[in-house]
Amino acid sequence: MPLYWRQSGRRLPLFWHCRYLDLLNALIYMGLSYLAWHLLNPYYEKQVSLKVSAMSISFDKALGIHEQALGFRAQRAEVLANNIANADTPNYKARDLDFAAVLAAQSDKTKNGAFALNMTNNRHIEAQGLGNGDESLMYRTPMQPSIDQNTVDAQLEQSNYAENSVNFQASFTLLNSKFKGLMSALRGE
């Protein structure tokens, strides 16, 4: 305790005599006696721990499908960029991802309780009964195939890439606003 507390003749509360006396002295010295009182008051600690344990945040419920939508948009951007890069490659077949098929698959997995496993390393063991995620990657039907059997239409790919970029930015903005809402809820604002 600071010296002026001891010299004033005031009696210190019983719960201040604990193993955190140095921390308490530092908090009171900095003018944070209110914080020190709440940290060391046993009744208040029980009240706070009940509030914290009753309030848990499930990120799956809070974010919904938006996280998977953002991942899909990033994966589709890679596929479309690959198509644009191979526009002059002979015998290259344009590929694309179908958003409706991926969304339906994710909704079914969520409803049935079967979630996809992420393999972050080649040495991971693949789960039985689960695909590697390429079921939604399809070959695009060419509108006008070229002589060298290349099915990439550069203008169509660029417009699809621009549309996907706008959708990615919208998904990212929505996900960012969800995180800001969660942060303000955690802060109690």
Q: In what helix (H) or strand (E) does residue 137 lie, and over which residues does it extend?
A: strand 137-139
Contact 95, 83 (CB under 8 A): yes
Q: What is the pLDDT of residue 181?
A: 83
Summarize pLDDT for 86-144 with one digit per residue, the tens. 999 999 999 998 878 877 777 776 666 555 566 677 777 665 444 445 667 888 888 88
State how far the Cα of 93 lies from the Cα of 25, in Å rounded to an integer: 72
- Mapped onto helix, strand or coil, the DSSP state of residue 123 is coil
Threshold 0.85, pTM exceeds: no
